[in-house]
Amino acid sequence: MSRETVASLETPNKQPLVIWVIFFATIISFMGLGLVDPILPAIAVQLDATPSQVSLLFSSYNLITGIAMLITGVVSSRIGIKWTLLTGILFTIVFAGLAGSSNGIWQIVGFRGGWGLGNALFIATALSAIVGLSTGGTAKAIILYEAAIGLGISVGPLLGGELGSISWRGPFFGVSILMIIAFLALLLKMPKLEKPKVKSSVLDPIKALKYPGLFRLGLTAFLYNIGFFTLMAYSPFVMELDEHGLGYVFLGWGLCLAVTSVFIAPRLQERFGTIKSMTAMLILFALTLLAMGIWTDSKEVIIIAVIVAGLFLGTNNTLITTAVMEVAPVERATASAAYSFVRFFGGAVGPWLANKLAEVYSPHVPFIVGAIFVLLAMASVATGRKHLHHVDRISH
């Protein structure tokens, strides 16, 4: 798209109209994650499944999302950004609907994998589209993207709790309906963007990982995501709340995540730099998980800790995503795909590992192990300063 075209689409808020369309679709997309969370215990009971089996809903979703990141650039460079986004949304509509129609846990796990493919096509392309088309620079574009994620994640559990109280199938069908709205909005309002002149290869994201800074951030996110999804996929079984209760707890968590990603992260970045701020947030999140591991038997402690964790997760998400966009001399879409390829494997391991540890050992162990992985993530950042120091200079 030419600069003149972008300028003509600008809103009074100095952003092109296309950015707000993608922003809306991103909110709907990330509602899918939070919608499912309040119904995990209900699925376990009604489908006679163990918590570790139910946690595979996250694992299959994240595993396929991570692998599919390798093809997002290939697809978008051939069919264009608009149709890549629409294809991703279409996959989500179909597979979320199929999951809601399922009668067994393994069917849902399989359909969640298809959902993950749609998720990969959408989120990788949406991030690069927002960064590439927005006005005001990379940092502001990342904040906008993270705000959409935060809003989606925060509102999702509330809607999921309401729909889940009717039936565990409700949130799955809810995602399908919401994504139909997003599909129509993008189809009608998003202009066709020019395809890249150079076609991407499946190997481009893997080759990008040769840059130590990008690899270091990917490794950090892999380790940190194990702790992140320990909280997401295991804490609902410990809190012993109904769908409404879980919906409200994760609403609080999501609101904290949204507020800090937009308002707190940029201020910390300005004052202390990206690396110091990221290190501090990872330490605070690890301590939160450790507290959950010590006082697992206290429902009140777990609820408060989940909500408070949103403060650290939202801040860290913005910091690390901003750093990824600037850390390596490759296309932003390629950097995003490479980083996401690595980090989503942490999201695949974390949910199953946490619930399996609880089944084999004790309810305390998953949170403690999650805290250890987050501390390892902090060590990955702290020991990789020589590969990341230039990110701080860009951020100021």
| pLDDT tens digits along 341-362 | 898 999 999 999 999 999 999 9
**DSSP character for 363?**
T
What's the pLDDT score for residue 193? 66
**DSSP character for 261?**
I
Alpha-carbon distance of 312 to 280, in angstroms, equals 9
357, 39, 26, 62: which is closest to 228 by C-alpha?
62
**Per-residue DSSP letters for 217-244?**
HHHHHHHHHHHHHHHHHHHHHHH---HH
247, 85, 94, 113: which is closest to 176 by C-alpha?
94
What's the pLDDT score for residue 198? 67
Are 201 and 74 in contact by the 8 Å Cβ rule? The answer is: yes
What's the pLDDT score for residue 15? 74
pLDDT in single tens digits along all 396 residues of the chain? 334 333 433 433 567 777 888 888 888 888 877 778 888 898 999 899 999 999 898 899 999 999 998 888 888 888 888 889 999 999 999 999 999 999 899 999 999 999 999 988 888 788 777 877 777 777 777 778 877 887 887 788 888 888 888 888 988 998 898 889 889 888 887 777 666 666 777 788 888 889 888 889 999 999 999 999 999 999 999 998 888 899 899 889 988 988 898 889 889 988 888 889 999 999 999 999 999 999 999 999 999 999 999 999 999 988 888 888 777 788 777 887 888 889 899 999 999 999 999 999 999 999 999 999 999 999 998 887 777 777 775 444
Alpha-carbon distance of 59 to 347, in angstroms, equals 6
Alpha-carbon distance of 72 to 344, in angstroms, equals 14
pTM: 0.85
Q: Which amino acid, residue 385? A: R
Instruction: Report CA Rg, the chain.
Output: 20
75, 174, 56: which is closest to 117 by C-alpha?
75
Tokens representing 68 are: 């599919």
What's the pLDDT score for residue 162? 86
